[in-house]
Amino acid sequence: MKKVIRLSIALLCASLLAFTACNKKTAGSAKSNETHIVTDHAGHNVELPVNIERVVIISPMPLPSIYCLYMGGTDKLVGMHPTSMAAAENSYLKNVYPDVVNVPTDFVKNGAVNVEELLKLNPDVVFYLASDKNLAQSLENAGINGFAFSTSIADFNTIETYANWIQKFGEIFGDTGRADAIIKYGREIEKKVSERIAGLKAEEKPDVLILYHYDTTGMKTSGVNFYGDYWINASGGKNVAGDLNGMPQISMEQVYQWNPEYIFITNFSPYLAEDLLNNSIEGYDWSQVKAVKNGKVYKIPLGMYRWFPPSSDTPLCLQWMSQILHPELFSDIDINKEVTDYFKTFYGADLTAEDLNAIFHPVRAASGK
């Protein structure tokens, strides 16, 4: 009888354990099916899983680097655009998050998204550029959760755009507590620079040309309503293309007419500063342009991402550009120390002299061209 009782008790315990395990499994499944509504930058109310497991980032191009910094790694990132990958492979991002170079990119061919290949990645959410209406429709037609991010939400103020992107990540994934300090620091730097250049007269602001996209197909600059105009004005310069809008195509004749005192080349262009300074680009004669004659041509750096669009390195770019345009106002800034301290504080990275050189002298391949 005692053996029967013991056996019955054992069977009862086993049943209770199985029941408990089953309940836990059911509860876990219910939790994984929970959704919430998040409004994207296109004004769409998007229903997303509370526990997102698979993320694809098509655009904006800096977003994968910001995602890695926000999430503390590449966890759940299962796809990104090849242009973003080109920056990652040639930036410091891969030193902090080495797995980023293994994220698939082959759902994009020749700049176009292959929706069938995208579906194979089984994404819970796909981030894309809010202005890309055709892609938005393609994602909707395929039954893919698309979430739009805008590049113009803060009038192309890179510091505030970055802050807004981070806030959206918080709504989507929950607060990771990783980005608040960078946002605060960026706003402090912007205020500091703004106060120092506030007293400049119009004639004290140098003429600046941004070469946004420059390769064998031609040149595009940054007019108003684009990041270059923000950079130039925020650092105390005058945009020679201030009468143009967006990313207009320009000619060499137009450059001669402007005759800028400073030229900055973005990392969306394969050309380097020395290409202009050595006048080695076939079909273009830069030798008589004031900036070239005075050696004031600069390639915009590449840290965790290209410094031209919004990125977590944005405060550094503002300091770098300001001390180039107005060395007398920013003589207290040792840009090498600023970058080194910043990377240590916010990324936990110890930069070497070689690392700094790579950041300030990006390679051609970083353009993705």
pLDDT at residue 29 tops 80: no
Residues 201 and 165 in one domain: no
Structural domain contains residue 21: no
CA distances from 321 to 6, 84, 227 (A): 80, 23, 13
pLDDT in tens, 33-79: 899 999 999 999 999 999 999 999 999 999 999 999 999 999 999 99
Alpha-carbon gap, residue 235 to 155, rounded angstroms = 16
Alpha-carbon gap, residue 330 to 197, rounded angstroms = 10
Mean pLDDT, range 360-364, rounded to an integer: 94
Give the residue numbers spanning the domain of 347: 190-367
Contact by Cβ (8 Å): 69, 183: no
Residues 84 and 219 in one domain: no
Strand pairing partners for 46?
38
- End of a domain among 147, 175, 203? 175
Strand pairing partners for 209?
263
Share of the chain above pLDDT 70, in %: 91
Report how many domains make up the chain.
2
pLDDT in tens, 340-359: 999 999 999 999 999 999 99
Alpha-carbon gap, residue 360 to 367, rounded angstroms = 14
Alpha-carbon gap, residue 65 to 54, rounded angstroms = 16
pLDDT at residue 140 tops 70: yes
Structural domain contains residue 158: yes
Contact by Cβ (8 Å): 125, 173: no
Residues 130 and 86 in one domain: yes
Alpha-carbon gap, residue 315 to 182, rounded angstroms = 9
Mean pLDDT, range 320-326, rounded to an integer: 98
- Identify the CA nearest to 267 among candidates 90, 129, 82: 90
pLDDT at residue 118 tops 90: yes
Buried b (16+ CB within 10 A) or exposed e, 329-365: bbeebebeebbbebbeebbebebeeebbebbbebeee
Mean residue pLDDT across the chain: 91
pLDDT at residue 327 tops 70: yes
Residues 194 and 139 in one domain: no
Q: What pLDDT does residue 103 have?
A: 98
Mean pLDDT, range 181-201, rounded to an integer: 96
Residues 295 and 200 in one domain: yes
Mean pLDDT, range 217-245, rounded to an integer: 97
Characterise 122 by phi-psi region: left (phi > 0), alpha (psi -120 to 50), beta (else): left
Q: What pLDDT does residue 177 have?
A: 84
**Domain CATH number, residue 122:** 3.40.50.1980
Alpha-carbon gap, residue 171 to 311, rounded angstroms = 19
Helix (H, G, I), strand (E, B) or coil at 299: strand
Residue corresponding to tokens 């390679």: 363
